[in-house]
Amino acid sequence: MTLSTRSVSLDAPRVGGDLPGPRSAELLARQGRRESNARTYPRHLPIAIAEASGSFVTDVDGNVFIDFLAGAGVLSLGHNHPDLVRAVTDQLGLLTHGLDFPTPIKDAFVEAQLSMLSPGMRDRMKVHFCGPTGANAVDAAVKLCKTATGRGDLVSFQGGFHGSSHAAMALTGLLEQKQPVPNGMPGVHFFPYSYCSRCPMDLSPDSCDTNCVGYLERSLRDSNAGVPLPGAVILELVQGEGGVVPARADFVRRLRALTRELDIPLIVDEVQTGCGRTGTWFAFEQYDIEPDVIVASKALSGIGTPVAMILYDERLDVWAPGAHTGTFRGNQLAFAAGTAAVHVIRRDDVLGNVGRRGEQVADRLTELAVNPWVREVRGVGLMWGVELADPLSGRTAGALARRVQARALRAGLIIEVGGRDDCVLRMLPPLNVTAEVVDIACCILIDAIEECCPT
């Protein structure tokens, strides 16, 4: 089978005229009439996409953008990576849908995934494929832990995001999504996360002694604190949608020690941080801990063919046959792409690139420190956020962040916002992004911030 290849190679953004352009405007209007009011991205990024390649997307009006949204972190090797396109194309003629039957390509995928774990974990982790979304895998993780422990309560963290299904939403901090939906999953207890620049305990990071985890510890040990021993604690190691907030190392290590001591399974939600996003295959590796359950999805296939799974300690494997089913658990195209993605990531030292490009972003964005509207620049690997706040009141500056986002788009850079009041500008580039593209993107972002947030 021949692959279609782009005749033009893209190396810089190019935007002419107003946005949306006329053809995008037409499709956006039609979408507005036909699709749900719950649609999100095109409201603030008003383009209709025609095609994409690597770190670039082209809209239907011929405008070219650097894509630092990358399918919300899905496209770890950029759009249409040729090795992944080839793997998917080859698989397409063989088998596409396999329920949960074993197949050679699924076997290769599982082997590739396990090979990314440390030898100790590799031998004791079991794999379960879920319906192909992060939220479905979060549901599966929670069901597994509840079943294994016989306990129905759960601990989650303020600012966390775990998806939009009923259960995943109940574990999510974002009230805007939850409030209109009565009778959410009960038994979820929210505790403060180590978001030091807006410390939930109002302490300075240097003197706090990680009181947030101390508070959780006291609550779980106190027979009068009103929190029954939970069936699981679920945590993002870097809160993504919550505004790119990396957890402090002592927070995570103490949490792991506590959950181990109290025999509470620790679920790490690596839907966004996994598959190399933070510079290691999973973010938990950087904290020197081993979780009981890992939730992975988004970038597992590297190219957007959907797949989700949980990896969990075999001692939790109490499920009866059919305990978590789903028709779309056997996407062979995703397995083919994901197997190729692991190969490319190793071959091209993509994790090394994440480290180097991450340092480049950190270095370039230091110049924002002088801007009084920039409260904090934070990130790890290729997951970066710039938090904007009113310099006088300290209040989140969400409307301003939206203006910066629009200005950046006009200059050819697609970025998302997140965090409280959407005040954090977020960059999630492909993991194989080049130094040149990072440099152009950082220039655009810095200019947009300087134009919108005068000093």
Beta strands in 297-342 (DSSP E): 309-313
Site string for ligand PLP, 318-357 (x = CB under 6 A): ----------------------------------------
Q: Is residue 267 at the binding interface for ligand PLP, with CB under 6 A as the rule?
A: no
Residues 44-73 close enough to bind ligand PLP by CB under 6 A: 72
Site string for ligand PLP, 4-23 (x = CB under 6 A): --------------------
Q: Cβ of residue 142: shortest distance to ligand PLP, in angstroms?
A: 12
* Three-state secondary structure readout of 72-140: HHCCCCCECCHHHHHHHHHHHCCCCECCCCCCHHHHHHHHHHHHCCCHHHHHHEEEEECCCCHHHHHHH
Q: Is residue 133 at the binding interface for ligand PLP, with CB under 6 A as the rule?
A: yes
User: Which CB, 135 or 145, lies closer to ligand PLP?
Assistant: 135
The CA distance from 90 to 251, in Å, is 45
Query: By C-alpha distance, which of 366, 364, 224, 235 is closest to 291?
Result: 235
Length of the chain as a residue count: 455
Q: Is residue 248 at the binding interface for ligand PLP, with CB under 6 A as the rule?
A: no
User: By rule CB under 6 A, what count of residues binds ligand PLP?
Assistant: 15
Which of 78, 163, 302, 418 is close enough to bind ligand PLP by CB under 6 A? 163
User: Which CB, 10 or 154, lies closer to ligand PLP?
Assistant: 154
Strand partners for 188: 154
Question: Could you tell me if 384 and 244 are in contact, meaning their C-beta atoms sit under 8 angstroms apart?
Answer: yes
Question: Which of these ranges, 134-142, 244-252, 411-419, 436-444, lies near ligand PLP under the rule CB under 6 A?
Answer: 134-142
Question: Which of these ranges, 145-153, 156-164, 282-290, 430-438, lies near ligand PLP under the rule CB under 6 A?
Answer: 156-164
Which of 268, 271, 303, 374 is close enough to bind ligand PLP by CB under 6 A? 271
Q: Is residue 272 at the binding interface for ligand PLP, with CB under 6 A as the rule?
A: yes
Closest residue to bound ligand PLP by CB? 134
Q: Is residue 292 at the binding interface for ligand PLP, with CB under 6 A as the rule?
A: no
Q: Is residue 419 at the binding interface for ligand PLP, with CB under 6 A as the rule?
A: no
Phi-psi map region of 99: left, alpha, beta (phi>0 left; psi -120 to 50 alpha): left
27 is written with which tokens?
């499709």
Q: Is residue 297 at the binding interface for ligand PLP, with CB under 6 A as the rule?
A: yes
Which of 59, 61, 217, 269 is close enough to bind ligand PLP by CB under 6 A? 269
User: Which CB, 109 or 373, lies closer to ligand PLP?
Assistant: 109
- Phi, psi torsion values for 316, nearest 5 degrees: -90, 0
Under 8 Å CB-to-CB from 385, ≥6 apart: which residues? 243, 244, 245, 377, 378, 379, 418, 419, 424, 425, 426, 427
Question: Which of these ranges, 114-122, 157-165, 351-359, 410-418, lies near ligand PLP under the rule CB under 6 A?
Answer: 157-165
* Number of C-beta neighbours around residue 222 at 10 A: 10
Q: Is residue 162 at the binding interface for ligand PLP, with CB under 6 A as the rule?
A: yes
Strand partners for 239: 245
Which of 59, 61, 236, 387 is close enough to bind ligand PLP by CB under 6 A? 236
How many helices (H) and strands (E) the chain has is answered by 15, 17
Distances (CA, A) of 190 to 4, 158, 185, 215, 292: 49, 6, 13, 12, 20
Judged by the rule CB under 6 A, the positions of this chain that interact with ligand PLP are 72, 133-135, 138, 161-163, 236, 240-241, 269, 271-272, 297
